[in-house]
Chain A
Amino acid sequence: MLDIKNLHVKVEGREILKGLTLQVGAGEVHAIMGPNGSGKSTLAQVLAGRDAYEITEGSVSYDGGQDLLAMAAEDRAAAGVFLAFQYPVEIPGVGNTYFLRTAMNAIRRTRGEEELDAIDFLSLAKAKMKLVEMDPSFMSRSVNEGFSGGEKKRNEVFQMAVLEPKLAILDETDSGLDIDALKIVANGVNSLRSPERSMIVITHYQRLLDYIVPDQVHVLSGGKIVRSGDKSLALELEQSGYVIFGEEAAQAAAAGGGA
């Protein structure tokens, strides 16, 4: 589904990702953990098509060999890429319902599918709102405006449920959620798991992985994947912290720096 090779990314002249390589197969769930500032969100944003980042080297091939990096953000969304933002943006003056229906229909248009009318969209939205136990009153408010941290995250999962992506990237969707909300969000995510859908789950907390059980866990440090393993790696990290990767990360960075 996703094949990232030797990805180098600069922000404001500073290299953040330094030769990152990662493969995610169809139907798999991969967790990425790593210290603050290690480049997790940078990776997520680059995959979603944010153009503020400069890609200096590497390739990303998506779903049958499409060159993901050559595609505009909106085309990636139409091709099934979805990013649940670490910091969802507040957009005053744009209603949640209108926004999501516009997004959905833009995607359908690009795919050559028929657009949904307001009534069909609403019944779809209602069903998905139930899934994440979101109060319908949120639909009539402006996008994320005045939402609490947890409500914003829930809105991201709701949007994901409506848009049914092929590749979902969840950037710290569990941060700021209380334990009940965490279960609801995890349920929402799990209900979307299918053999055709892949997920990258970025998190700092092992507890999320009790609910969303990953096929693989990766540690991102110093701009590279420094270690990969199964879900027991997350438990190990919980004990040891990221300190043990200090040396590996330094070496990795040194090796990557010459390229």
Chain B
Amino acid sequence: MDARESLLAAYEASKGQIGLGDSDRIRTLRRDALESFADLGFPRTSNEDWRYTSVSKMTPLEFKRPSSFQPDGSASTELQRLRSVFLGGTAGRMLVFLNGRFLPELSSFNGEMPGVETLSLAAARKSHSDLVEKHLARYATLEGRSFSALNTAFHEDGAFVHVAKDVAAKFPIHLVFVANGPERPMAIHPRNLIVLEAGSSASVIQSYVGLACESYLTNVVTETVIGENAHLEHFKIQQEGRRAFHISDLRIDLARHGVMSDCSIAIGGSLARNDVTGNLRAEGAECHLNGLYMVTGNQHVDNHTTLDHVSPHTISRENYKGILDASSRAVFNGKVIVRPDAQKTDSVQSNKNLLLSENAVVDTKPQLEIFADDVKCAHGAAIGELDEDALFYLRARGIPRAEARALLTHAFASEIVDRIRWDALRRRLDGNISLWLSSSSSEAQEVS
């Protein structure tokens, strides 16, 4: 059995357990999605969207549905630790998901936030059926995307966030997804729905943490719905286990003058693929995409972003930075579409890559499809090494070579991290970067 067959078999076996409480629409959708996945199978590199990213390491595996949703002893300790790291002593909400399922006993709610609802999608299906019915799977259209189809067919739980009209959520909302189960390899399909009504604002941080060292698949779909004049600040911090596969599909739906500020940090996993699609469907919508990926060893990270300017006066800003060590590989594909009506579109895109090793490879490609004439679209891509002049300057002041390299590399990353206004999160990321730099391998192999 290969991965496709095992996933289909797992679905057959768990039919009675998945999708209880689905509406008729969702039930039909699941069936269609399943057919679509059965049909498509895993993407091949002949598919232009997957040209540089092969999932062949994944396809021979027999994925299983997780069966354990209770943390064992060591996982509980780790989760307690994570809680203090994530919340950093500040108020906020933290929803913990283990192997894709919500764990209320490990979640915390500190600080009053009237008008802000955070619960599991499974619960929301019952308590907020109208909202779920209105929004779920309305934005993440399948369009030949195998993994999104897989998620749509298989999703069980995830986070549901709703912010009422004109409410500003004071504290950050952390969604923590932890993988740690006896099944190997397991496939987890979290499904998140974040809805901001008109005039509201919120900060949502998604963290993916792998406690398991064996391989598993996280295949997440997140739909964000940003109402008129609403502002969502969204982070995804991906620190999956060393042998994990992380596939993510983030959809952003922007109403008039809606603003999305997204920041995607990718450090973990053996193979990571992030799709971010912003639909600037109404006038004045604004989408900011920032990203930082740091890979080493044989890690592979692929960021595919699409910014679809549908209406006039829409703004997009994109800044993705990558740091690659050892034999790692990164792919960046930044598509910007400007539809015929989207006059006065203002779009700037940048992707800069820092290679710390001669064996690391980057494929970066801007992809502009512009059908309007009165627009401003700028893009730039760069692949480079550490600046020798800067390195010498630091060493000439007494800073040892390895430390000087780490300092410059950290500085490269800081452009993305420094603008994070949540202290606990910024400190945590800074710490992660330092740790990454001290354990990354190529400097040790290099003869100075």
Contacts and interface: CB of A to CB of B under 8 A. Distances in A.
A73 B448 CA distance: 11
A91 B411 contact: yes
Interface string A71-85: 011101110001101
Contacts of B404: 74
B390 interface: yes
Interface in B376-424: 387-390, 392-401, 403-404, 407-408, 410-412, 414-415, 418
B396 A73 contact: yes
B411 A73 contact: no
A103 B398 contact: yes
A99 B396 CA distance: 12
A93 B412 contact: yes
A165 to B, nearest CB: 10
Nearest to B448: A72
Contacts, number: 77
B398 A163 contact: yes
A24 interface: no
Nearest to B388: A52
B411 A93 contact: yes
A184 interface: no
A99 B401 contact: no
A159 interface: yes
A93 B408 CA distance: 8
Given A91-B408, A92-B411, A159 B393 contact: no
Residue from the set A74, A83, A107 with the largest chain B CB neighbour count within 10 Å? A74
A106 interface: yes
Contacts of A52: 388
Residue from the set B388, B392, B393, B404 with the largest chain A CB neighbour count within 10 Å? B393
A89 interface: yes
A103 B397 contact: yes
A50 B392 contact: yes
A190 to B, nearest CB: 22
A82 B398 CA distance: 9
Contacts of B400: 72, 74, 106
Contacts of A142: 411
A91 B395 CA distance: 13
A178 B148 CA distance: 64
A89 B387 CA distance: 10
A100 B398 CA distance: 10
A77 B395 contact: yes
Contact of A89 (B393, B399, B401, B410): B393
Contacts of B448: 72
Interface in B180-204: none
A69 to B, nearest CB: 15
Contacts of A100: 397
A73 B389 CA distance: 13
B414 A74 contact: no
A99 B393 CA distance: 11
Residue from the set B395, B401, B418 with the largest chain A CB neighbour count within 10 Å? B395
22 contacts: A73-B396, A74-B399, A74-B400, A74-B404, A76-B396, A77-B395, A77-B396, A89-B393, A91-B390, A91-B393, A91-B408, A92-B411, A93-B410, A93-B411, A94-B408, A94-B411, A99-B407, A100-B397, A102-B403, A103-B398, A106-B400, A142-B411
Interface of A: 48-50, 52, 72-74, 76-78, 82-83, 85, 88-89, 91-94, 99-100, 102-104, 106-107, 110, 142-143, 159, 163
Closest 8 CB pairs between A and B? Answer: A93-B411, A77-B398, A103-B397, A73-B395, A107-B398, A89-B393, A93-B414, A106-B398
Given A72-B401, A163-B398, 17 more contacts: A49-B392, A52-B388, A72-B395, A72-B400, A74-B395, A74-B400, A74-B404, A77-B397, A82-B396, A89-B389, A89-B393, A91-B390, A91-B408, A92-B415, A93-B411, A94-B411, A106-B403
